[in-house]
Structure 1
């Protein structure tokens, strides 16, 4: 660990002082809940297994609680912040509290969903306290656009954490679970109580670890083709796959044919399939003629 001042991290009084100085009030619209406990952010960094050679991207750094903890360990931290006031203030906070590491910090003032390039070397890790209202789309977008990210640890609403880490057959297994597994091996990595946030949220939070797959899903179908099957399967999750995939395949018989060819029962439901099985279904989508009829 790099040497830093003992009080470099932000505590509750520091957070409120910074917020007051900036005239910042956390907004529900952007899902802002600032971590005010130094032990919690250090725990997140340890759980993420951040290494001294890591280039870490952080989404939604807010006032900088986790940012400073990451800078204690990582080689470089790139923070992506959409809020105008917070983005303008964060570099000064880093420079004031961790001057010896300030040259290893970079800020991107943008919506994370729009970022396609990051300054400096390619990121190797993603560590973030993701805003609850956009956690899943942001996570999947960043994993897709930055394949150099090997390890991810995100803090999200406990319910979202459960969905991301769910396995086939689990009642909360769904679109986030399957799509996250396209990129990574996913598991729950801990829980975070409400009292370490300001303001305290009405729900608990969970940590989710996502490690990039050593080998991509073996399939001749594209990601877009596989995800189209996933979306269709869970759009009507109470229906059998024969019925749920009728629109995707062109008809219920065509859906059944694709499922049988993939070795899957037409009476199965989406919540029972692995990402590999969804890929097999995508590979067997019937060809259609120009009128949309299956041939």
Structure 2
């Protein structure tokens, strides 16, 4: 896919229909279900000025100023009027409006108090018919769970669609997948290098802890690049989209044993903590004698060659052997 291009600043007070905010050539557009308009560069700067907001490195804030880009993200995410969407880091509301435009219901989690306070007013101004479908929570996304977001505690599937802060993108997606078993998919924009790691496969240079842990939950893939020029301020790194579908199953379709997650992740952390060492050397304090053989894994391999399934098999073998030792006592 081609990178999206920014639209010119609109004259002060100018109006813009959804059709006016068309995506660049070749970019799919989302059918408009709710009247209103999306934010352009001039809108973003005006709202920021009115709210007394300046993008901060602390929260990794880079605001999207191109309607075509946010529509593209929503299209890639497959959001429609029946979707329940969690958005982390809505910022000034560019992506929020594009999601609401489809008729979806949105819960936005924003860590920055001024931005959280301003977002409902922005939706009321630019897409008033959608105001009743937006809930804003002023919290750190790493602290949310079913107790703090009860709207997602009913077990019904929901999706994550977000322009994630680059410095905490991986912890956010892994934490949300752990705490919400009904988080069925996500489409997130992250730093390109982070996207590469999340979607990496065994044996590649960027395959690491995030790659394996995400694969425990399901399938991830790169879904396109995003140019730097669609942000304000423009970041010093490239961005990319990552699409993920939850399966909670091994490659052969066998359901994951959720009780093995902590043990499996402990092995992953240890193996990649010393990734140049063999599994036998890196895991000598965690894996008892006979576990490698029981799991069908060569202990002279390195952790960077193992799939999530193989780490899970090794964790299961360790548990089984520990149980046998305990019974023999």
TM-score (norm 2): 0.82
Question: What residue is the counterpart of 1:284 in the other structure?
Answer: 317
User: Matches of residues 81-96 of structure 1 in structure 2 within 5 Å?
Assistant: 81-96=110-125
- 1:44 is matched with 73
* Structure 1 segments of 4+ aligned residues over 4 angstroms from their partners: none
Q: Distance in 1 between matches of 2:113 and 2:262?
A: 34
CA distance in 2, matches of 1:289, 1:218: 22
- Is the contact between residue 218 and residue 249 of structure 2 (CA under 8 Å) also seen in structure 1? no
**What SS does the corresponding residue of 1:187 show, helix, strand or coil?**
strand
Counterparts of 1:169 and 1:98, CA distance in 2:
47
CA positional deviation for 1:150 = 1.6
Partner of 2:9: none
User: Match of 2:181?
Assistant: 147
1:262-287 alpha-carbon deviations (Å, 9 max, x no partner): 11111101111111100011012243
Residue correspondence of structure 1 range 252-263 to structure 2 within 5 A: 254=288, 257-263=290-296
**Using the alignment, how far apart are the partners of 1:214 and 1:231 within structure 2?**
20
Distance 1:3 1:68 in 2: 10
- Specify the SS of the correspondent of 2:183: coil
2:262 aligned with 1:224, yes or no? yes
1:174-193 aligned within 5 A: 174-193=208-227
Secondary structure at 2:189 match in 1: strand
Q: Alignment partner for residue 35 of structure 1, among 51, 55, 64?
A: 64
* 158-167 vs 111-120, greater mean Cα deviation: 111-120
Deviation by residue 1:9-54 (Cα, 9 ceiling, x = unmatched): 1100000111111111111111111111100000000011112200
Q: Could you tell me how far 1:95 is from its partner in structure 2? A: 1.1
Unaligned runs of 5+ in 2: 1-31
Per-residue deviation, 1:183: 1.1
CA distance in 2, matches of 1:119, 1:219: 26
Aligned alpha-carbon RMSD (Å): 1.9
Q: Deviations over 1:111-151 (max 9, x none)?
A: 11111132535551110000000000001111121221222
2: CA distance between counterparts of 1:289 and 1:182?
26
TM-score, structure 1 length as denominator?
Answer: 0.91
Q: Aligned in 2, Cα 1:214/1:279: closer, same or farther, shift over 3 Å?
A: closer
Are residue 120 (structure 1) and residue 151 (structure 2) matched? Answer: yes
Distance 2:103 2:203 in 1: 38
Q: Distance in 2 between matches of 1:178 and 1:3?
A: 39
Aligned counterparts of 1:219 and 1:245: Cα–Cα separation in 2: 21
Count of aligned pairs: 284
Partner of 1:265: 298
Distance verdict in 2 for CA 1:215–1:261, change over 3 Å: closer
Shift of 1:218: 3.5
Choose which of 39, 48, 55 in structure 2 pairs with 1:26.
Answer: 55
